[in-house]
Amino acid sequence: MARTARSRRAENTGFVCVHCAAAVPANTDGHYRNHCPVCLWSLHVDDLPGDRASECRAPMQPVGLVEKSGKGWQVVHRCTACGHRQPNRLVREGDGPDDLDVVLRLPWL
């Protein structure tokens, strides 16, 4: 089922990081923020990007970087419970951009 623009906006909210407890602001560049800008950890909430359909909900560890045409650098997360891997766009502008020092410590995959 397709999500409406209204429900997508409602899901773009701030949160507290499950890994480092940082207060994470909502993304302001028109995309979802699904990971912490301080430690880059995430939660396994999607089966497919943006669907929020995963029942796993376990923490996802940042394990590396990839570069995708049209999306730029992406951090790859691995679920600590089921092993699912998912690349996610880095947040480079707006409120709380991703910590570049932490990003650059990740290996290229």
Summarize pLDDT for 23-73 with one digit per residue, the tens.
999 888 777 788 999 999 999 998 888 788 999 999 999 999 999 988 899
Phi, psi (deg, nearest 5) at residue 17: -60, 130
- Check pLDDT > 90 for residue 83: yes
* pTM of the model as a whole: 0.85
Task: Tell how strand 85-89 and strand 15-16 pair up.
Answer: unpaired
Q: Return the closest-CA partner of residue 59 out of 46, 41, 85.
A: 41
- Return d(Cα 46, Cα 71) in angstroms, integer: 18
For position 10, what pLDDT does the model report? 56
Token representation of residue 61:
């560890």
